[in-house]
Amino acid sequence: MNEPRKLHIKSYGCQMNVYDAQRMVDTLAPEGFVETAAVDDADLVILNTCHIREKAAEKVYSELGRLREAKDEARRAGRALTVAVAGCVAQAEGEEIIRRAPVVDVVVGPQSYHHLPQLLARARQDGRALDTEFPLDDKFQHLPAPRPDTIRARGVSAFVTVQEGCDKFCTFCVVPYTRGAEVSRPVKRIVEDVRRLADNGVREITLIGQNVNAFHGEGPDGRPWPLGRLLEHLATIEGIARLRYSTSHPRDVDDSLIAAHRDLPSLMPFVHLPVQSGSDRILAAMNRKHTADDYRRVIDRFRAACSQIAFSSDFIVGFPGESEEDFAATLALIEQIGYAGAYSFKYSPRPGTPAAEMPEMVATAVMDERLARLQDLIDRQQAAFNAAMVGQTVDVLFERDARYPGQIVGRTAYLQPAHVLAPPDIIGQVLPVAVDRLERYSLIGQLAGPQQIPPRSASASPTVSTGA
């Protein structure tokens, strides 16, 4: 029996990459690879990269610089270290990566992970291997299903990709180029995945996709199902206490999704709905295909269907041509909607995207100043949202041991971390917590009232990976 080979994988970017990293581990397990947290004793290092902003993409090269030293050191010690670059930088830059960083042995794009074993073999033989095709067959059909022990080790909350790629072509964004055209997985396969996860102790499923609510996977009736219908179906699977989805696009919010929020208690009332800007002029230049008012109307429809619903969003400041007036419209929109949180970014020109060619780049100092103002407003909204939880009793899905001995940490419907002193067997359960106080972003409280859901025999182990 050969010694297991050790695999270290480092992911950047979105939840999609977190999920893909797990699937790469699953793909390499039959090849004798086990995951290691330490780069130092790895036989294979995979950088699972993100191309969304310049900073994210450039990180890869500094990491590769460090890996060159690690590879030399391994060679001196008589070991071989294989370096692979996966993810969206691999897709966008392809061979250029090997040219810039000869330390790289394998370059593999996001749609080709199922070829990893063959690529590693080819790299051993030829010194290098590259695959950035967009194959016509569905990679998911070729990826092995995660094993029960792996699922349990990953904890009570899991991602399931239901949709990939994007046909929207916002002018600032690389995703349509790095992930390719939009495709949805068939409902049957998604249901199989969710059942397997539920059978092994997973209680919360987040359906993910770059445009998750553009989902139109083939249903058992042979027709395309919208996301709302999929959620309704998944809500009937035993053991699944919570459903979420991310990231949704305002243009693809249809009646089925609104109805799902009205009808499904297990669908969490927390929606990430990026808007990017509150200025119609900028939204048009971004090719978002919606106005600020369209967005407001979408928010109203959600709120009418579910009164406890809360929102988070993404914002870009300093898109080419953004004036002070445009920016003021963004702040006004934020004031009006009231968010539970948001991600905000300075515009970063990406090679090959239309916005990168636009004149009127906004000066960095102006971007910095706008970003600070926007983040200040969001921080205040988030702090108020969190503070409003104090004194309330809220449902928490317990995930793992907290750092503080005896404490267990879980998450509320709004993904706020919540800590209680309790025995570890509450992990995997959704229980009401009386919130006493707030410590930074965490709610501190105590278990209130009886258990709502009986403990499951396949209770998950106390580790969990949550998304970026």
What are the residues binding ligand F3S (CB under 6 A)?
13-14, 16-17, 50-52, 87-88, 174-175, 178-179, 210
Residues in 256-315 at the binding interface with ligand SAH, rule: CB under 6 A: 274, 276, 314
Site string for ligand SAH, 133-172 (x = CB under 6 A): ---------------------------------------x
CB 224 within 8 A of CB 216: yes
Residues in 304-343 at the binding interface with ligand SAH, rule: CB under 6 A: 314, 316
Least Cβ distance, residue 92 to ligand F3S (angstroms): 8
Asked if 113 is part of the footprint of ligand SAH (rule: CB under 6 A), the reply reads: no
Q: Tell me the window of 166-174, 320-328, 361-369, 417-425 that interacts with ligand SF4 (CB under 6 A).
A: 166-174
By beta-carbon proximity to ligand F3S, the closer residue of 178 and 276 is 178
Least Cβ distance, residue 339 to ligand SAH (angstroms): 14
Asked if 346 is part of the footprint of ligand SF4 (rule: CB under 6 A), the reply reads: no
Residues in 175-234 at the binding interface with ligand SF4, rule: CB under 6 A: 175-176, 210-211
Whole-Å CA distances, 1 to 4, 8, 347, 412, 461: 9, 22, 52, 46, 28
Asked if 17 is part of the footprint of ligand SAH (rule: CB under 6 A), the reply reads: no
Token pair 């406890």: residue? 308
Task: Pick one of 7, 47, 129, 175: the residue that binds ligand SAH (CB under 6 A).
Answer: 175
Backbone CA torsion sign across 432, 433, 435, 439: negative
By beta-carbon proximity to ligand F3S, the closer residue of 24 and 52 is 52
Asked if 244 is part of the footprint of ligand SAH (rule: CB under 6 A), the reply reads: no
Task: Pick one of 170, 340, 447, 464: the residue that binds ligand SF4 (CB under 6 A).
Answer: 170
Angle at alpha carbon of residue 377, lines to 376 and 380, rounded to 5°: 85
List interacting residues with ligand SF4 (CB under 6 A).
Answer: 166, 168-170, 173, 175-176, 210-211, 249
List interacting residues with ligand SAH (CB under 6 A).
Answer: 52-53, 172-173, 175, 210-211, 247, 249, 274, 276, 314, 316, 345, 347-348, 350
